[in-house]
Each structure stands twice: as C-alpha cells, then as structure tokens.
Homo-oligomer: A and B are copies of this chain.
Amino acid sequence: MVGNLLDPRTSIVRRHGMSFRTNSKGLKLDPQELLKAFGGLDVHQLEKLADQSVVDAAQFNRDMVVAIAQAAALLETTDFSFRKPLDGKIVVTAFFEASTRTRLSFESAVLRLDGKILSVPDGQVTGVKKGESLSDIGEMLNTYGDAVVMRHPETNSVDEISQNLTAPLINAGNGSGQHPTQALLDWYALLKWRPMLASDTCPDKSRIHLGVVGTPGSMRAVNSFVQLALLFDSAIKRITVVSEMADPLGAKLSDSTADCDIEIEVTNDIKDVLPALDVIYMNSIAFLGDDYKTLDSRYKLDMESKLKPEAVIMHPLARRNELDSALDNTVHNLYFAQAAGAVFVRQALLTAVLARTGALADALTSR
C-alpha cells in the first residue's frame, strides 16, 4: 500500500510513451491504484465545477475530492499533449502576495494543458499602489482572462474582488483564510499513498491517527487541509492538533468539527503524541493580523524524532527549520511527493472550472 522508495537517481518516469519527472527523494507514489479505485474517475462530478469559483475547502464533498484526485491521477499518467484541453483559454495569475511556488505551479498546469497565462508576479506592482480597489481590479480582469487565480495577504480579498468579477475565481491563499487547492493536492498525495482512505468501508487497521502540528485557525493551508480531513471520517480515527495556542482550531473549524464523528484533541506536547501518529501534517508560518509567527522551536522533526516506522510527514512547503532535510531521504518523506503532485491537481481543477473535461472523458475511453 505504501509507495516505493525508488532510486533517487531515476526520477524520470516513462509510461505510455510519455516521460515526466517526479520527486527526487522520499516516497514515489504510483497514481494507477487510485485511478482504478471506486469504479474509476466519474467525469460528471467534475462537470459541476464548470464556471464555478473555488474559494473555500468547505465547498467540496468527499466525492468531489476523490474525483479531482482521480482526474489528477489520470493527468499524471496520460499524455495530453495532443488534446490541448485549455486551448484558447487565458488564465490570470494575480499574486498580490508573492509566492513563486504556488504561482509557478498554477502556471505550469496552464501551460501543460496548452492554455495561456497573464501573470502578475508581484501585485504591489499594480494600481493598488495608486489606491485602486480590489472590486475595480475584478471588473478589469473580466475582459482580460477566462479565469483568475488570486493570492492576497488579506482574508476579505476574496469577497472584495468577487463584487465585480464575473470570471471564475480560484483562491490560491487569502490571508489567514483558506488555501483550498493546497488542501486538494494534500489529499491527492494521501489518496495515492493509501487509496482506501476514501472508502466507506476502510478496515480498522488502515484507519489513521492524524497529527496536525500548527494552528489551523491562523494557518490557511492547515485550515483547508483539516476541513477536507473531516470528510474522510470513515478513515480517520483521531486528529491530534499540536499547538501552543489556546484555541488553535478557530471558530469556523470548531463548528465543522462539532458535526463530525472524528475524535479531535489538542495538545501542546509533540513528544507524547508523535509515536502514535500515522500521518503528521506540519506548516511553518501562522498569520497573525499583518504579521506572521513561525512554529515553536519545540515542534521540530528530525532523525531523532520518535516516528512510527511507516509514519508519513506532510508539509505544504516552503519549510524553515521545523523539518530537517535529513528526513528527505527516508520513507517518512511524503512532502516531496505532495509537491510533485501539485501541478496535476491544478490541471484537474482548471480543466473542470474552464469546462474542458471533455478531454478527460476522451482520454479515459481511449486508455
């Protein structure tokens, strides 16, 4: 069930006449098993996303998360170069908060599907400097592109730009709010690692104890990840949040957990709980108003950490000191596989939002 730790020197995978690079170190996951699971990809699920904005992890149900993950698996293992799914479509990447990792991931997804990009690599460069409102920026973008990917340091930015924007919006991180596409790619990695997590009848021995090191209430990636985790209650025994904060979940996520069967506990002691965890999700930085706070130095993982032999570590990256690079070359490293799957999940999402899932359906029938 666990992915293979391939020779790090062979990180180019050749399959069906195509070749692609995967992560250089850590677990290398084969998408085939996930693609075949649950009767295979249901493209009709994805059609529901046509012309829709993707702003909050809470808008997804489990079937949709699985469909996006399976579409990503299809895209990861199939040559789409002659299908050109996004031909003629323009995607605007509007990054008002700098992030090369996320911006390039979306842009690579667009280019690999033969779409086109209008890029705002550093939004301080915009009329914002001259005092332009986000709603006016939204109005402007209506006629420039077919979809807008936005990152913004303010949580209310999604609401503001949506006042006039009629093109679908993909939220690539808004302040301390949400980062739904990160959560989708996190779950793509988890479902490739153990497809059974998406089953209603996940056997008890496969159910996991999930540790979340960080503060979901002020870390948007962790927030969206936990939000999706709540959909997989048949596969998650328990979630332990490790944080020094008093109320790490925040009000909104606390409400969601109240309706959920998963047992949730909070601790500030990582040493105690670590040996029990199957999956550990970490993040570096918590947003606190205009400022940010790095993870407490007690919460560092390294070769001395008491991990279960098959435990996997996830991290949305970029990392700081909290995750020692000595762990990169171990079977605990799921975070590089997580990163390596990012482009495919964003390809799946863009194909769905831009109503071009026909290419996916065609690829399925010709397999």
Pick the contact of A139: B139, B141, B336 (CB < 8 A): B336
Pick the contact of A130: B122, B142, B285 (CB < 8 A): B285
For window 318-367 of A, CB contacts with B under 8 Å fall at 318-320, 325, 328, 336, 339-340, 342-343
- Residues in B with CB closer than 8 Å to A25 are 139, 164
Residue of B nearest to A95 (CB): B125
Interface digits, A110-129 against B, CB 8 Å rule (1 contact, 0 not)?
01100010111111011101
Segment of A15-23, A229-237, A256-264 in the binding face = A15-23
Taking the closest CB of chain B, its distance from the CB of A283, in whole angstroms, is: 11
The answer to whether the Cβ of A64 comes within 8 Å of any Cβ in the partner chain is no
The answer to whether the Cβ of A98 comes within 8 Å of any Cβ in the partner chain is yes
Taking the closest CB of chain B, its distance from the CB of A139, in whole angstroms, is: 6
Taking the closest CB of chain B, its distance from the CB of A223, in whole angstroms, is: 18
Q: Do B143 and A20 touch (CB < 8 A)?
A: yes
Which of A120, A142, A325 is packed against the most chain B CB atoms within 10 Å?
A: A142
Taking the closest CB of chain B, its distance from the CB of A118, in whole angstroms, is: 5
Report the bound CA distance from A139 to B99 in whole Å.
Answer: 16
Q: Do A21 and B142 touch (CB < 8 A)?
A: yes
Q: Do A144 and B285 touch (CB < 8 A)?
A: no
Report the bound CA distance from A122 to B123 in whole Å.
Answer: 11
- Residues in B with CB closer than 8 Å to A98 are 125-126, 129
Interface digits, A62-90 against B, CB 8 Å rule (1 contact, 0 not)?
00000000000000000001000000101
Q: Do B101 and A107 touch (CB < 8 A)?
A: no
Which of A88, A100, A111, A137 is packed against the most chain B CB atoms within 10 Å?
A: A100
The answer to whether the Cβ of A136 comes within 8 Å of any Cβ in the partner chain is yes
Interface digits, A1-43 against B, CB 8 Å rule (1 contact, 0 not)?
0000000000110000000111111000000000000000000
Given known A-B contacts A11-B142, A11-B166, A166-B11, A112 and B100 have beta carbons under 8 A apart: no
Q: Do B125 and A164 touch (CB < 8 A)?
A: no
Q: Do A318 and B132 touch (CB < 8 A)?
A: yes
Q: Do B121 and A101 touch (CB < 8 A)?
A: no
Q: Do B120 and A318 touch (CB < 8 A)?
A: no
Given known A-B contacts A125-B121, A164-B25, A166-B12, A108 and B145 have beta carbons under 8 A apart: yes
The answer to whether the Cβ of A245 comes within 8 Å of any Cβ in the partner chain is no
Report the bound CA distance from A167 to B99 in whole Å.
Answer: 21
Residue of B nearest to A79 (CB): B88
| Further contacts, 19 of them, CB under 8 A, given A131-B318, A133-B325 | A22-B142, A24-B139, A25-B139, A90-B111, A90-B112, A92-B104, A98-B126, A100-B120, A101-B127, A108-B118, A119-B121, A121-B121, A122-B125, A130-B285, A132-B318, A136-B317, A140-B317, A143-B339, A143-B342
The 8 residue pairs across chains A and B that have the minimum distance between CB atoms: A127-B318, A132-B318, A100-B126, A98-B125, A108-B144, A111-B116, A21-B142, A11-B166
Query: What are 30 inter-chain pairs, A to B, with CB distance below 8 A?
Result: A11-B142, A12-B166, A21-B143, A21-B166, A23-B139, A23-B142, A23-B143, A24-B139, A24-B165, A24-B166, A99-B126, A100-B120, A100-B126, A100-B127, A100-B137, A101-B132, A107-B118, A108-B118, A108-B143, A120-B121, A130-B284, A132-B318, A132-B319, A136-B318, A136-B319, A139-B336, A140-B317, A143-B339, A144-B343, A164-B328
